[in-house]
Amino acid sequence: MSEQGGWPPAAAPPPGWRPQPPTLLSSQAARPTYREPFPVRGPQLTAGVGAALAWFALFGMLGRDLLTYAWWTVAAAISAWIVATMLMILGDRGVATGIALTAAGGLSIATAVVAVRWITTNDWPLW
């Protein structure tokens, strides 16, 4: 029976294998920086919010009572989400984000108004 020897000592890594830690005045970072290719910026987000607010205002003015207001708001939200999806795929993600956020907020407001009416009158207002 032969006795096995230990592992050989580890060799030093080749030069440049381990990056040097960055110093205070170094211009290069030790690790690469990954960035979003199409970042969402403030002006585009604001443009999407403004366009969706105008969209919901126009659709909301079509309603004469709570029933028609709620259904027009649902139609506005669905169409806004379709446009936001198309913009997300083909266009500007910032505008799409603003539209989607405002659509969710507008639909939440309509849902809250319907819920308050339903709670106070004990009658479902959408049928």
Q: Is residue 71 part of a domain?
A: yes
Contacts of 118 (CB under 8 A, 6+ apart): 124, 125
Q: Is residue 37 part of a domain?
A: no
- Torsion region of 8: left, alpha or beta (phi above 0 gives left; psi -120 to 50 gives alpha): beta
Average per-residue pLDDT for the chain: 86
Report how many domains make up the chain: 1
Lowest mean pLDDT among 23-27, 44-48, 84-88, 110-114: 23-27
Closest CA relative to residue 84, chosen from 70, 71, 103: 103
- Cβ atoms < 10 Å from Cβ of 89: 9
Lowest mean pLDDT among 32-36, 48-52, 73-77: 32-36
Predicted local confidence at residue 2, as pLDDT: 55
Q: Is residue 48 part of a domain?
A: yes
- Cβ atoms < 10 Å from Cβ of 101: 15
Share of the chain above pLDDT 90, in %: 61
Q: What domain range includes position 87?
A: 42-121
Closest CA relative to residue 54, chosen from 94, 10, 106: 106
Predicted local confidence at residue 70, as pLDDT: 94
Predicted local confidence at residue 10, as pLDDT: 78
Predicted local confidence at residue 54, as pLDDT: 97
Instruction: For residue 117, name the pLDDT band (cuts at 50, 70, 90).
Output: very high
Lowest mean pLDDT among 10-24, 59-73, 87-101, 103-117: 10-24
Closest CA relative to residue 45, chosen from 104, 111, 102: 102
Predicted local confidence at residue 26, as pLDDT: 57
Q: Is residue 35 part of a domain?
A: no
Q: Is residue 102 part of a domain?
A: yes
Q: Is residue 8 part of a domain?
A: no
Rounded to an integer, the average pLDDT of 50-72 is 94
Q: Is residue 2 part of a domain?
A: no
Residue 14 CA to residue 9 CA, distance in Å, equals 15
Q: Is residue 52 part of a domain?
A: yes
